[in-house]
Amino acid sequence: MQKETIRAYIESQKQALIDTITRLVAIPSLNGEPLPHAPFGSGPAMALDEAIKIADELGLSASNLDGYVGVIDCGQGETALHILAHLDVVPAGDGWTITNPFKAKIIEDIIYGRGVSDDKGPLVAVLFALKTIQTLNIPLSKHVRFIMGTDEESGFRDIHWYYENYPHAPNAFSPDSEFPVTNIEKGHLQPTLTASWSKNDCLTQIISIKGSPQVNMVPGISKSEIYGLCPQDISPDIYDFADTLQVSLHVEDTENGILLTCIGQNTHASTPEAGNNALTALISILLKLPLSQCEGKTYLTHLSNLFPHDDHYGDALGIAQQDPLSGPLTATLSVMDWTRTGFTARFDSRLPLSATHENCYAVVEKALSTVNIDFSGTIDPAHHVDENSPFVQTLLRIYNDCTGEQAKCQSSGGGTYVHGIEGAVAFGACMPNFEPNIHGPNECMSISDLLTACEIFTHVIIELCGE
C-alpha cells in the first residue's frame, strides 16, 4: 500500500519538480573567483542560495555551511545516510541547437539545459524524495543528511572541506551517474604539461592556441591565431583534411595574420570517444600549414605525436590498458594555453583498476621528458566498493523492485563526490541506455526517469533510516 501511495504522490509533483529544475538551470553556476561567503564564485553561491530557498518552500530544514555546501536534515537519532549532489555546472560550450543552455526547455518527456542531468535534475529528485517522506508523514528513526555541493566540477574542494569539519556517515551515495549502482569509478590523472622557448622572429608562427576551459571537458571548439599567414594560404587541401577529421574549419583575417577556429563536438572527458576533440584536430591541421621551422613547431609536433587525433585510449603515450572490471583507460588532451614563448596544457586520463604509478604515471613522465616537456600531477586511484556489501545490495534490491529489472553493478569513467569515501557509491539518476549529453551541447534528462529516481531514492531513505 505504501509503495502505491508514494508513487502516486511523486507523480502528482511532476510539474513542481519541472519548475524547480527550471529555476536552478536558469542560474549559470560556473566556478569563478572566490568572494566573501562564496568560495567558488558568485554563480555557485547564487545556485546554493536558490536551493536553500527552494528547500524552505518545500518545508525542509536547510542550512548554508559557509558557502561551501548546503545541508538538509531529516529524521532523528544517529546518522545513517549521506546523499551528495552538486549545483555547479561546466561551461555551456558551443553547439546547442534546442535551447539556450540556461533556459530549460521541455520537448515531450525530455528536459534540456545545462545541469538537467549533471547534477541539478538528480539533486531535485532527492529534494522531492525528502518532501515525499515528510508530506506522507513517514517516520524516520535515523538521520539522513542531504549535502548540496558547489565545486564538484572543479576539484571537490567543497566536499573535502565538509569532511574535514563534519563526520562521515556509515552509508553514502551520489545521484551523479546512472542506475543501477556504480561501484567502480576509474582513477584520474589530470596533470599539467609545460614547455618554454625563446621568442623568435620567424615569418610565420603560432601566436596562440586555446582548448577547453576545463580539463574534464573534451573541447568542442579550439582556436589558434597565426602570425604571417593570410586566408589565401589555407589551401583547399587543408579544408579537405579538416573534413577527414570530421571538424569544421573557419578562417578569419586579422591585423597580423589569421585566426583559425576548429569546431568538433564537446563531451565529458570520461567518454572521449563520444565527442570529437577540436584541439587535437586543430593541432593536426596547424602542422599542415606553411609554418616556419622553429621551436614552437617542434613542440607542436611532439604534442601531435603524443596525443594524435582520435587516440582516445593512451596508445601513443604508451599507457593503453584495461581490466575486466573497470574497462579501458581513456586519455584526452583538453586544456591548452599557447603563447609565442611556450605553452601550458592539461590532459584528462581515466584509469582502470589495473593502472599503477609504474605502468601509467612513470610511463607518461618518461614520454614527456624525452621531448623536454615538463610534467606535474598526481594519480587519484580508482574507487572500488565490493558489490556484495550490504549497502550495495540494498540499493540494487530497491532499484530492481522499483523497475522490475535484475540489474547488477557497473563501472564508470566519471568521478563523483563519493570517490574515495569508504563504502560509498554512485547511484542514479540516469536510467541505463539513456544518453544525457553530459558536458556536451543539448544536455538532457528524461522527466519520467527523474520521477522514477525520486521514487527509488524515497524507498532507499525509508529502508536505511525508517523505523
Residue 370 makes CB contacts below 8 A (sequence gap 6+) with none
pLDDT, one tens digit per residue, over 374-401 is 999 999 999 999 999 999 999 999 999 9
The whole-angstrom separation of Cα 274 and Cα 309 is: 13
As a whole number of Å, the CA-based R_g of the chain is 24
CB burial readout 134-151, b (16+ within 10 A) else e? eeeebebebbbbbbbbbb
Going by C-beta distance under 8 Å and a sequence separation of 6 or more, which residues neighbour residue 131?
13, 58, 59, 60
Cell numbers at 228, concatenated: 604571417
For the segment 83-112, the average pLDDT, to the nearest whole number, is: 95
Strand partners, 189: 349, 379
For 198-245, the pLDDT digits (tens) are: 998 888 999 999 999 999 999 999 999 999 999 999 999 999 999 999
pTM of the model: 0.87
pLDDT at 1 over 60: no
CB 308: neighbour CB atoms within 10 A? Answer: 14
Nearest alpha-carbon partner for 418 in 83, 98, 190, 145: 83
Maximum Cα–Cα distance for the chain, whole Å?
A: 80
The full set of domains in the chain, from first to last, is 2-186+383-465 (3.40.630.10), 188-380 (3.30.70.360)
User: Is pLDDT of 434 > 80?
Assistant: yes
Helix pair 390-403, 447-465: axis angle to 10 deg: 140
Say what the pLDDT of residue 311 is.
Answer: 97
> Do 204 and 229 contact (CB within 8 A), yes or no?
yes
For residue range 269-306, what is the model confidence (pLDDT) as tens digits?
999 999 999 999 999 999 999 999 999 999 999 999 99
Selection from 106, 134, 133, 135 nearest residue 121 by Cα: 106
CA distance 57 to 92: 29
Indicate the DSSP class of residue 361: I
Q: For residue range 9-66, what is the model confidence (pLDDT) as tens digits?
A: 999 999 999 999 999 999 999 999 999 999 999 999 999 999 999 999 999 999 999 9
Report whether pLDDT(95) > 90: no
pLDDT digits (tens, 9 = 90+) for 317-363: 999 999 999 999 999 999 999 999 999 999 999 999 999 999 999 99
